[in-house]
Chain A
Amino acid sequence: MGTARLYAAVAVGGFRRYATYRTATAAGVFTNTVFGLILAYIFIALWDEKPHLGGYDQAQALTYVWLGQALLMTVAVLGGGFEEELIERIRTGDIAIDLYRPADLQLWWLAQDAGRALFHLLGRGVVPLAFGALVFDLALPADLLTWLAFLVAILLGVVVSFAIRFLVALSAFWLLDGAGAAQLAGIAGFFCSGLLLPLNVFPGALGEVVRALPWSSLIQAPVDVLLGTADPLSTYAFQAAWAVGLLAAGRLMQSVATRRVVVQGG
């Protein structure tokens, strides 16, 4: 019970930390809305040209745009979050202090990231989606159950995203500077999550590959659950398989890395 309370407190801390930046949040909402508008018009032109592209009708495609903007920060598609701090702690050697704490490194940061994700869902997700729903004709479901299923898919997406970024951060033990790895991960997230263009629109083998990669858990999977274009249970199984696999890889890497730690001085 004690450990659960500890991680809950860490999660609350993560939430509070991002909640402090109110102006930045408002600015971010503005930016997500502007990009949503631009993408919405591009999608209208695309679906005018070819209705039912990727198996979506136009209202579903527009819903896709606004959900993507709403989820972008929650599932940290482009990175940004705990991993920057963890990379810095590895670089400076402060990580040695973390390893002496009576808490698990991976669980600690997962709890912190969960708090961040919840803040971003509320702070940066709701308003762009509401704006999109006001201005465009969206295909949002009316029943509560679909929304709950959507939230579960988001939760799994956040865990997959965390697991990827944890691996990226730990790579700093070997690379010393994690900036390059973080940049590559951001590019992969941008392209393979379905943020830019639904993965169902990607042609042929490329489409099959990007849909099988872990990043499709971040945007494509939750959006398809909300639109009802994917079966929730098999979507969860896909996301959970990646989450478990990547978290296990992170754990393995963590144990190898901590054996490598050499504390300088004193």
Chain B
Amino acid sequence: MDERARVASWPEGKQGAYARVRDGVRAYRMIAAMWIRSTTAYRASFAMTTFGSFAATALDFVAILLMFSQVDTLGGYSLPEVAFLYGAAGTAFGLADLALGSMERLGRRVRDGTLDTLLVRPAPVLAQVAADRFALRRLGRITQGVLVLGYAVAVLDLSWTPLKLLMIPLMLLSGGAIFGAVFVAGAAFQFVAQDASEVQNSFTYGGGTLLQYPPTVFAKDLLRGVTFVFPIAFVNWLPALYVLGRPYPLDLPTWVAFAPPLVAAGCCTLAGLAWRAGLRSYRSTGS
């Protein structure tokens, strides 16, 4: 079935939550596939930008290596331990960035009015905005995170248990979902403050940077903030500290290491509500 016929088969009218999600996923897949075809048409350019995405994020880790060329520990953590935190945060962030990174363009779409064209199409707006300009080159970021995480797992001297091993995929997926919720909530905020996409960067890229370092480096108030208010501590810190056998910040109980899936579900629900509220408040720029 060709693309046009598939578009024609999009169901319209009232439907349940399950059908809406299914339609959203299908629309996302189709739009993303179209962007993949269009960007991979210029192979040299695609290879260059993918490498660029890999290199740009790898420099963050080079900076950490440079720091460790001068010191043996940072905040009491060794290089492999920091690499574990870095790899987990980088991969989780990379997953969210690949799936939803395009959403930071929403403010521009609201400003120039091109969001209107998405509203009249028979597919969920969230899926359309998220898949818009889907950039496969962002795999560079995930690759880099996975490589550093692999290095850390290989050199860390830990007594691995099944539970600790299970914690790694759990942490990456929940972390990706938490960051995904941040992207969606940030986009919802841009309905209100169209010109303020940089604020979103502080929470996405800023949060990602924060989690690359051990929690012992930061002030108590900052830790309370990222645990209870803007709960990105659940992306990697709390589950990773369980794997590393390190004490938790703020004297939290042991079970919080297993909370990331619940926190992720909560974050996604709140982000979804924020998105709906934002979309409903949208007034086109047209005159």
Contacts and interface: CB of A to CB of B under 8 A. Distances in A.
Interface stretch (B87-95, B201-209, B239-247, B277-285): B201-209
Interface residues on B, range: 35 or more
B59 A31 contact: no
Given A41-B219, A46-B74, A190 B195 contact: no
B193 interface: yes
B70 A41 contact: no
Contacts of B231: none
B56 A190 contact: yes
Contacts of B48: 180, 183
A35 B196 contact: no
B222 A41 contact: yes
A168 B121 CA distance: 40
Given A30-B198, A38-B206, A203-B66, A49 B59 contact: no
Interface string B266-279: 00000000000000
Which of B70, B72, B194, B209 is packed against the most chain A CB atoms within 10 Å?
B70
A38 B59 contact: no
A197 B199 contact: no
Contacts of B210: 38
DSSP majority for the B interface?
A: helix
A191 B59 contact: yes
Given A37-B222, A45-B75, A31 B202 contact: yes
A196 interface: yes
DSSP majority for the A interface?
A: helix
Interface stretch (A18-26, A95-103, A110-118, A244-252): A18-26
Interface in A4-37: 21-24, 26-28, 30-31, 34-35, 37
B218 to A, nearest CB: 5
Interface of B: 45, 48-49, 52, 55-56, 59-60, 62-63, 66-67, 69-75, 193-199, 201-202, 206, 209-210, 213, 216-219, 222
23 contacts: A21-B195, A24-B197, A28-B198, A30-B202, A31-B198, A31-B199, A38-B210, A38-B218, A41-B213, A41-B219, A42-B213, A45-B74, A45-B213, A45-B217, A49-B74, A50-B70, A53-B70, A179-B49, A180-B45, A180-B49, A186-B56, A187-B52, A187-B59
Interface of A: 21-24, 26-28, 30-31, 34-35, 37-38, 41-42, 44-46, 49-50, 53, 177, 179-180, 183-184, 186-187, 190-191, 196-197, 201-203
Question: Which A-B residue pairs are the 3 nearest by beta carbons?
Answer: A23-B195, A27-B196, A27-B198
